[in-house]
Amino acid sequence: MLDRLRRERGPLVAVAGPAEVLDGVDDRVLGVAERARSDSLQDPADRAAYVAAHLLVRRCAAALTGRPVTDLAVHQWCADCGTAGHGRPSIAGLPGVHVSWAHGRGVVVAAAAWHPVGVDVETLPPAGSGAGRFPGLALAEQRQLRAAPDPALLALRHWVRKECLVKAGLATLARVDRVDLSRVVERQDPSGRAVARYRGLHLVDWRDPARRALVAVAGRGAPTVRPPADLPALRPMSAARH
């Protein structure tokens, strides 16, 4: 009974700056493919965000499952090209656990859940900027932007939510313009996050002013958002070397 109730919970989500995740921890838990990808990134900020996201998702999965962080290996496999290192992520040996992450300059988001989940994060547009050219908008969404008080923010909200739906398996990037979010009914939860439903999933997004970011998550059930300090920690580098 307890196990069933636990698995009915929504996704566990964490948002952080890369420095919050990387400060004093041992990143040697990363796998070979992850290290190769990290080493290929020339920009230090991009590399820091990539590593932080891959560490943070392990901590989310550890909090969800009760497993030690260092016991969790993250795998990615692309079904289209048949290679590792990118594509849909998973936790090795735990097929019932679903994970997702995203990262940008100065911010990372990660999630773990017992059901398919998707997260995304983007930098907030400057106040008063136009909608610009956002890909993947349905015709009804484009019309909606014309009457919006902040079209750039609304366009970005549509985009991050659609990215989440793609990662959760309810859409594809090639046909994301066929997903119309212009008519979803929204409400605010007690934390001020915008909550909607789309084909059985909770679709939640919110602004993170401290990191100037827009965060979104799609999953079964309302997400639980925790600060990194409340997640299982990696061992400090000094301790890991002994």
pLDDT per position as a tens digit, 153-180: 999 999 999 999 999 999 999 999 999 9
Please report the pLDDT score of residue 82 as a whole number: 61
Please report the pLDDT score of residue 187 as a whole number: 96
Domain assignment present for residue 233? The answer is no
Domain assignment present for residue 134? The answer is yes
Q: Summarize pLDDT for 2-26 with one digit per residue, the tens.
A: 455 455 689 999 999 999 999 888 7
Q: How far apart are CA 151 and CA 157, in angstroms?
A: 10
Count of domains forming the chain: 1
Neighbours of 223 (CB within 10 A): 24
Please report the pLDDT score of residue 239 as a whole number: 44
Q: Summarize pLDDT for 102-141 with one digit per residue, the tens.
A: 998 899 999 999 999 999 999 998 766 665 667 789 999 9
Q: Would strands 88-91 and 74-78 be described as parallel, antiparallel, or unpaired?
A: antiparallel
Domain assignment present for residue 22? The answer is yes
The tokens for 61 are: 């999965």
Q: What is the dihedral of CA 92, 16, 162, 65, to 10 degrees?
A: 30
Domain assignment present for residue 153? The answer is yes
197-208: average pLDDT: 96
Q: What is the CATH number of the domain that holds 83?
A: 3.90.470.20
Domain assignment present for residue 42? The answer is yes
Cα–Cα nearest to 121, from 47, 211, 190, 40: 211
Residue 240 predicted with pLDDT over 90: no
Domain assignment present for residue 236? The answer is no
Please report the pLDDT score of residue 77 as a whole number: 76
Structural domain including 59 reads 2-228
Q: Summarize pLDDT for 43-97 with one digit per residue, the tens.
A: 999 999 999 999 999 999 999 999 999 999 998 877 667 666 667 899 999 999 9
Please report the pLDDT score of residue 88 as a whole number: 84
Burial group, residue 151, by CB count within 10 angstroms (0-12, 13-18, 19+): buried
Domain assignment present for residue 12? The answer is yes
Q: Would strands 12-16 and 224-226 be described as parallel, antiparallel, or unpaired?
A: parallel
Cα–Cα nearest to 7, from 227, 221, 230: 221
Length of the chain equals 242
